[in-house]
Amino acid sequence: MIKFILNDKVVETTHGSGMTLLDFVRYQMRQKGTKIGCREGDCGACTVLVGELVDGKLQYKSITSCISPLGNAHGKHIVTVEGTNLEGKLSRAQQAMYDNYATQCGFCTPGFVVSLTGYCLRETTPTREGLLDAISGNICRCTGYKSIERAVDQLYQELMAPSENGRQTHLISKGFIPAYFAEIPKLLADIQEIPVKQGKQTMVSGGTDLYVRHADKLSNEDVQLLEQRGGMKEIQMQDGLCTVGAGVTASDIMQHKGLQEIFPKLRQHMLLVSSEPIRNMASLAGNFVNASPIGDMSLFFLALDAVLKIENAEGQIRSKAFKDFYQGYKQYDLAEAEFIRAFTFKLPAADDFFNFEKVCKRQHLDIASVNSACLISRSAGKIDKIHCAIGGVAAIPLYLKETCAYLQGAEINPVTIKAANEVLQQEISPISDVRGQKEYKRLLARQLFFAHFLELLPEELTLEELCY
Ligand SMILES: Cc1cc2nc3c(=O)[nH]c(=O)nc-3n(C[C@H](O)[C@H](O)[C@H](O)COP(=O)(O)OP(=O)(O)OC[C@H]3O[C@@H](n4cnc5c(N)ncnc54)[C@H](O)[C@@H]3O)c2cc1C
Ligand code: FES
Ligand code: FES
């Protein structure tokens, strides 16, 4: 039995865990404010909030309900636009949209209101940029974004006012959220966990890949919810090693304080990955097993030389170097009933350099034409260790074994970098497709490879030296 809180009511259902949360909310619970646009996670019309108790504290994030399995709602607080309504007046987010004429046909408006309310709930030190990120997954076809930006500015000014009497009480008293939110932690604490399913059912983590392709089929299934396995959401840093649970999402990585210190450009890099609601759902292992040749997170962790911890049905764990995981297009070393439990990587030293580059047709909510990540350790001007991975130029997310071997121990100068690019060009095998001609992808591969070194030594290297 799946049990959760929908707005201010406890809901129990025997519907299959694979049904989409969107269909359950609209067709079973008749909450029609949650709209259906693309059903692919792209438009944000179906955005809802998910609140869960983390270390006793209630945390909210936005998700697109059209590609989220109903089962992942178990034990959580799901908030639709109806759940943001106050008695007899508009909430602050609703009012900001209204005051600034930020709605025309109104189809996208519930999604915007939910995303903005989610940010108010989540962020204790709000920024304008953060509020804009919060709506990065919401598309409006008719109003024009300037009026929506003005609504964001109004809400930002209101959020900046100092909190009185604790964050949640403040948000309730100032009309950002309705009063029933105060009762949610107690209601959630009373919901028991459901037993973990094991067997041949489809394994689902965030659902952002599977549901885009197979929503109809999965909707009638009772799926295996990997989120429910203990320890899958943890990030631990100890003795120079980072262990990351397979269910950790792109947002979890982006918001992790310890990782932010080690990777100063983490936020900048992660903002290139999809949109906020998708990052909130997208697990890292889902990205690895999806095996897309342009999987951003796959490249990230190939360049960190990660080691996968793979568990079988008996609970035995084996290790597999991530760089040896892929065997061909969408083929990888995972037997039936095996799943990725976690992965580890050595934390880079303070003077190690890490970089991620992505070229796509638009900056947000797009997959890459070519992307690349690179980790370089140096001493006395020479490369001690390099791990470089590149996407979009082979059948798999490609760890550049030969290029890395070539650069081991080499001096970093234009001659060696250009020679290494010659090795790289032998190692890749791009094809022409909607993302670009193969010649263009070869050029991008070279430019992104050079970009790592230009970022590493901006004072010493120039693009002209490398290109001509
Ligand atoms: C609108 C949109 C934008 C996107 N933008 C990007 C982008 O910019 N960059 C990018 O790289 N990707 C992007 N994606 C793709 C997707 O979000 C990611 O690949 C995501 O990381 C998949 O994770 P998930 O948890 O949602 O996977 P799911 O859909 O749950 O699963 C994907 C596959 O992995 C398997 N799986 C999941 N977890 C495990 C595990 N622990 N062990 C074994 N198998 C497992 C599932 O069985 C399934 O085969 C986008 C998707 C959407 C819908
Ligand atoms: S309907 Fe478009 S994101 Fe869900
Ligand atoms: S107001 Fe019509 S799509 Fe946004």
Q: Kindly state the DSSP code that residue 14 receives in the 8-state scheme.
A: -
**Would you tell me how many other CB atoms lie within 10 Å of the CB of residue 231?**
12
| pLDDT at residue 143 greater than cutoff 90 | no
How many other C-beta atoms can be found within 10 angstroms of the C-beta atom of residue 95? 18
Please give the pLDDT value at position 18: 95
Atom of ligand 3 nearest to the CA of 141: 3
Distance CA 132, CA 116 (A): 9
* pLDDT number for residue 118: 97
CA distance 218 to 211: 7
56-80 confidence digits (pLDDT tens): 889 999 999 999 999 999 999 999 9
Q: Where are the domains of the chain?
A: 1-226, 229-467
For 438, the 3-state DSSP assignment is: helix
Scan for tokens 């108790």, then name that residue.
Answer: 53
Give residue 272 CA to ligand 1 midpoint distance, Å: 15
Can you name the residues that pair with 59 across neighbouring β-strands?
52
The sheet that has 317-321: what strands, in order across it?
A: 235-238, 241-245, 339-346, 307-311, 317-321
The best mutation among 24, 64, 279 to test binding of ligand 2, ranked by most ligand atoms within 8 Å of the C-beta, falls on 64
Q: Is the CB of 227 under 6 A from ligand 1?
A: no
- Hey, whose CA ends up nearest to atom 4 of ligand 3? 140
1-226 has CATH 3.60.70.12 classification: no
Backbone angles phi, psi at 247, to 5 degrees: -90, 0
Interstrand relation of 2-6 and 9-13 (parallel, antiparallel or unpaired): antiparallel
Inform me whether the pLDDT recorded for 395 exceeds 80: yes
CA of 102 to the centre of ligand 3 (A): 8
pLDDT-derived band of residue 434, with 50, 70 and 90 as boundaries? confident
| 8-state DSSP, 177 | S
pTM for the model stands at 0.96
State the closest ligand 2 atom to the C-alpha of 44, by its place in the atom list counted from 1.
3
* C-alpha 270 to ligand 2 mean position (Å): 21
Q: Is the CB of 42 under 6 A from ligand 1?
A: yes
38-65 mean pLDDT? 95
Pocket test for ligand 2, best of 21, 43, 81, 115 (most atoms within 8 A of CB): 43
Q: Write the pLDDT tens digit of every residue in 322-369.
A: 999 999 999 999 999 899 999 999 999 999 999 999 998 777 777 889
Q: Which among 32, 63, 66, 274 is the best mutation to test ligand 2's pocket, defined by most ligand atoms within 8 Å of the CB? A: 66
79: left (phi over 0), alpha (psi -120 to 50) or beta: beta
Q: What is the pLDDT of residue 460?
A: 84
* Residue 47, ligand 3, Cβ within 6 A: no
Residue with tokens 């950002």: 176
* Residue 194 pLDDT: 73
Looking up tokens 């359950």 gives: 24
**290 touches ligand 1 (CB under 6 Å):** yes
pLDDT tens-digit map of 17-26 = 999 999 999 9
- pLDDT value at residue 466: 86
Q: Write the residue with the smallest CA distance to atom 35 of ligand 1.
A: 286
Query: Measuring from atom 27 of ligand 1, which residue has the nearest CA?
Result: 286
Predicted pLDDT at 400: 98
Diameter of the chain by CA atoms?
Answer: 71
Considering only CA atoms, which residue is closest to atom 18 of ligand 1? 287
Please give the Cα distance from 264 to 43 (Å, whole number).
Answer: 30
Q: Is pLDDT of 305 > 90?
A: yes
Which of 154-168, 189-203, 342-356 has the least mean pLDDT?
Answer: 189-203
pLDDT class of 457 with cuts at 50, 70, 90: confident
Does the CB atom of residue 296 touch ligand 1 within 6 A?
yes
Torsion of CA 93, 96, 99, 100, to 10 degrees: -130
The residue nearest atom 2 of ligand 3, judged by CA position, is 105
Spatial separation of the C-alpha atoms in residues 185 and 266, rounded to whole Å: 31
Overall fold of domain 229-467: 3.30.465
Strand-pairing partners, residue 51, are 60, 77
Q: How far is the CA of 34 from the centre of ligand 2 (A)?
A: 9
Ligand 3 atom with the shortest distance to the CA of 140: 4
Q: What percent of the chain stands above pLDDT 70? A: 99
Would you say the CB of residue 396 lies under 6 angstroms from ligand 1? no
Whether ligand 2 lies within 6 angstroms of the CB of 38 is answered as yes
- Ligand 1 site-directed mutation target among 287, 298, 339, most atoms within 8 Å of CB: 287
Residues with Cβ within 8 Å of residue 330, at least 6 apart in sequence: 291
* Residue 174, φ and ψ in degrees, nearest 5: -95, 5
For residue 231, the model assigns a pLDDT of 85
Q: What is the pLDDT at residue 230?
A: 84
What pLDDT was estimated at residue 425? 98
Q: Is the CB of 277 under 6 A from ligand 2?
A: no
Query: What is the reported pLDDT for 52?
Result: 94
- CA torsion through residues 27, 28, 32, 35, sign: negative
At how many degrees (to 10) do helices 109-122 and 92-99 cross?
130
Q: Which residue has the higher pLDDT, 31 or 168?
A: 31
Instruction: Give the amino acid at 446.
Output: R
Entry field: residues in the chain: 468
Answer yes or no: is pLDDT of 195 > 80: no
Whole-number Å distance, alpha carbon 180 to ligand 1 midpoint, is 34
The chain-wide mean pLDDT, for the chain, equals 94
Please report the pLDDT score of residue 181 as a whole number: 96
Q: Which residue in this structure is represented by tokens 């991975």? A: 389
Confidence of residue 458 (pLDDT cuts 50, 70, 90): confident
CA angle at 356 for the pair 355 and 361, rounded to the nearest 5°: 150
Can you tell me the mean pLDDT for 416-429? 97
pLDDT score for 384: 94
Is 351 exposed, middle or buried (CB count within 10 Å of its CB: 0-12, 13-18, 19+)?
Answer: exposed
Residue 438 to residue 350: CA distance in whole angstroms:
37
Q: Please, which pLDDT band fits residue 166 given cuts at 50, 70 and 90?
A: confident
Averaged pLDDT for residues 412-430: 96
User: What pLDDT score was predicted for residue 385?
Assistant: 95
